[in-house]
């Protein structure tokens, strides 16, 4: 167990703006990134990975602007294991009150083949680049990409190298969503036990969801001693996505009896963030998605309805209000007015200007004349048409 955090406090590292944005088609504008960063900070996210500054001028500018507007959250930028990347990253994050440089390199056999580096050459590169980063700043995160498919002895060696060179957080990525809960825990436990200096750093877990195990793998890593979880809102991320922030945070809250760890997240802000990320990224949340799905608190069958009417705990393990879900008591139809439409759209994650409201309202009325019931999807489709028409 590391000594850098309180024993039961798990840091939440949100990478919606970096790994989340890497989902094909999820590109966000500068303003949207600033808005999401502010919401993440208000929600109590400890570390916000704001982007990959060397990737583009746009990314650099977004990370710099997020760093400047930030207050409590640590603002982190990603960089490959190259001096120019690290310098560019530092140039962007240095404006933050609390900044972090995150540098990584692929360490598994496949990645060593691609970079054409021998084990010794890779160790040298890690030592040089982490030392370079540490000479610029004192909060340095290092990640051995594809850690879960790397030989255990070599993984220990590279982690030890990064710690000796000055890394303060060691993040263990399951880059391709390959691990399983027991293995995820064993890996973290082994690193903490075997690597000299492990008790001086924070161990972090970064899971992808290719086999649907990202949440379970992250929680297993925490039980083995990791004290930082990397995650994204709605589990947004490449392929099947990353660990979903709302899932790990609510799991730690609801099952605190068996997982006695706490986060600093104000869970009542989860639903709003989920809706904003869905609206901004264009990635709709699946209806039966844990915690934030449209059906997560809906009861359809007679037995379930009867049960929750008598005692809500019969079929609900968390309260809708704990995630900031307000009862949906606005029925949209042809008698609804502009104010109701604006409120409903806001609930769905769309903030409308007066002009947009006028435009959508006309088309909403036409639709309501044809259709008895207007569902959320109808309204979302109206917004998609607005974007196309704009």
Backbone angles phi, psi at 311, to 5 degrees: -155, 115
Host H or E run for residue 189: helix 181-194
Task: Decide which of ligand KIV, Zn ion, none touches 104; Cβ closer than 5 to 8 Å per partner kind.
Answer: ligand KIV
142 binds ligand KIV per the rule CB under 6 A: no
Of the candidate residues 166, 173, 235, 349, the single one contacting ligand KIV (CB under 6 A): 173
Q: Tell me which DSSP letter residue 294 carries.
A: T
Q: What mask of x and - would describe binding to ligand KIV in positions 178 to 217, judged by CB under 6 A?
A: ----------------------------x-x---------
Of the candidate residues 19, 32, 46, 139, the single one contacting ligand KIV (CB under 6 A): 19
Q: At what angle do helices 119-136 and 152-165 cross, to 10 degrees?
A: 30
Q: Which two tokens stand for residue 331?
A: 């029925």
Q: What mask of x and - would describe binding to ligand KIV in positions 89 to 128, judged by CB under 6 A?
A: ---------------x------------------------
Q: What distance in Å separates the CA atoms of residue 65 and residue 60, rounded to the nearest whole number?
A: 9
Q: Binding residues for Zn ion, per CB under 5 A?
A: 19
Q: What distance in Å separates the CA atoms of residue 367 and residue 378, rounded to the nearest whole number?
A: 9
CB of 238 to Zn ion, least distance (A): 7
Do 174 and 208 touch, CB atoms closer than 8 A?
A: yes
Closest to Zn ion by CB, 240 vs 318, is 240
Whether residue 19 is annotated as binding a ligand: the answer is yes
Do 141 and 102 touch, CB atoms closer than 8 A?
A: yes
Whether residue 208 is annotated as binding a ligand: the answer is yes
Residues facing residue 338 across a β-bridge? none
Neighbours of 213 (CB within 10 A): 21
148 binds ligand KIV per the rule CB under 6 A: no
Backbone angles phi, psi at 77, to 5 degrees: -125, 150
Closest to ligand KIV by CB, 19 vs 41, is 19
CB of 102 to ligand KIV, least distance (A): 7
Closest to ligand KIV by CB, 77 vs 173, is 173
CB of 176 to ligand KIV, least distance (A): 8
Q: What distance in Å separates the CA atoms of residue 297 and residue 328, rounded to the nearest whole number?
A: 11
CB of 178 to ligand KIV, least distance (A): 11
Task: Decide which of Zn ion, ligand KIV, none touches 168; Cβ closer than 5 to 8 Å per partner kind.
Answer: none
Closest to ligand KIV by CB, 77 vs 225, is 77
Q: What distance in Å separates the CA atoms of residue 367 and residue 362, rounded to the nearest whole number?
A: 9
State the residue number with the nearest CB to Zn ion: 19
Q: Tell me which DSSP letter residue 262 carries.
A: B
Q: At what angle do helices 181-194 and 152-165 cross, to 10 degrees?
A: 50
143 binds ligand KIV per the rule CB under 6 A: yes
Residue owning tokens 């049960």 = 307
Task: Decide which of ligand KIV, Zn ion, none touches 342; Cβ closer than 5 to 8 Å per partner kind.
Answer: none
Closest to ligand KIV by CB, 51 vs 173, is 173
Closest to ligand KIV by CB, 155 vs 352, is 155
Whether residue 127 is annotated as binding a ligand: the answer is no
Q: What distance in Å separates the CA atoms of residue 92 and residue 76, rounded to the nearest whole number?
A: 9
Closest to ligand KIV by CB, 70 vs 175, is 175
Q: Which residues contact 357 (CB under 8 A, 6 or more apart)?
A: 338, 341, 342, 345
Whether residue 206 is annotated as binding a ligand: the answer is yes
Q: What distance in Å separates the CA atoms of residue 195 and residue 211, rounded to the nearest whole number?
A: 29
CB of 156 to Zn ion, least distance (A): 22
State the residue number with the nearest CB to ligand KIV: 173
Do 88 and 79 touch, CB atoms closer than 8 A?
A: yes
# of chain residues touching ligand KIV (CB under 6 A) = 8
Q: Which residues contact ligand KIV by CB under 6 A?
A: 19, 104, 143, 145, 173, 175, 206, 208
């Amino acid at each position: 167990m590391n000594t850098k955090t309180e024993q039961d406090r798990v840091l939440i590292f949100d990478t919606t703006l970096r790994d989340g944005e890497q989902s094909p088609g999820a590109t966000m504008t500068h303003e949207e990134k600033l808005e999401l960063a502010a919401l993440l900070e208000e929600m109590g996210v400890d570390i916000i990975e704001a982007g990959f500054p060397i990737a583009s001028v746009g990314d650099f500018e977004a990370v710099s602007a997020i760093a400047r507007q930030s207050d409590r959250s640590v603002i982190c930028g990603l960089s490959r294991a190259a001096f120019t990347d690290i310098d560019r990253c530092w140039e962007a994050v240095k404006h933050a009150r609390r900044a972090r440089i995150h540098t990584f390199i692929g360490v598994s056999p496949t990645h060593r083949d691609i970079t054409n580096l021998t084990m010794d050459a890779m160790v040298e590169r890690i030592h040089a680049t982490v030392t370079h980063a540490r000479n610029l700043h004192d909060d340095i995160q290092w990640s051995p990409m594809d850690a879960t498919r790397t030989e255990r002895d070599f993984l220990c060696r590279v982690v030890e190298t990064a710690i000796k060179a000055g890394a303060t957080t060691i993040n263990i990525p399951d880059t391709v969503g390959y691990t399983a809960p027991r293995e995820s825990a064993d890996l973290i436990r082994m690193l903490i036990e075997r690597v000299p200096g492990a008790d001086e750093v924070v161990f972090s877990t970064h899971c992808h969801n290719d086999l649907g195990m990202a949440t379970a793998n992250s929680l297993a890593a925490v039980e083995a001693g990791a004290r930082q979880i990397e995650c994204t809102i709605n589990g947004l991320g490449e392929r099947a996505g990353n660990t979903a922030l709302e899932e790990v945070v609510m799991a730690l809250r609801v099952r605190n009896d068996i997982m006695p760890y706490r986060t600093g997240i104000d869970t009542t802000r989860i639903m709003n963030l989920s809706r904003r990320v869905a609206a901004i990224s264009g990635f709709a949340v699946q209806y039966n998605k844990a915690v934030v799905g449209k059906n997560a608190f809906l009861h359809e069958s007679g037995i379930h309805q009867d049960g929750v009417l008598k005692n809500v705990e019969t079929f609900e393990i968390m309260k809708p209000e704990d995630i900031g879900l307000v009862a949906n008591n606005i029925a949209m139809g042809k008698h609804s007015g502009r104010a109701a439409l604006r409120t409903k759209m806001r609930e769905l994650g769309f903030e409308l200007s007066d002009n947009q409201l006028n435009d959508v309202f006309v088309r909403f009325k036409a639709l309501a004349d044809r259709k008895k019931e207007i569902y959320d999807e109808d309204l979302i489709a109206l917004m998609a048409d607005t974007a196309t028409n704009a």
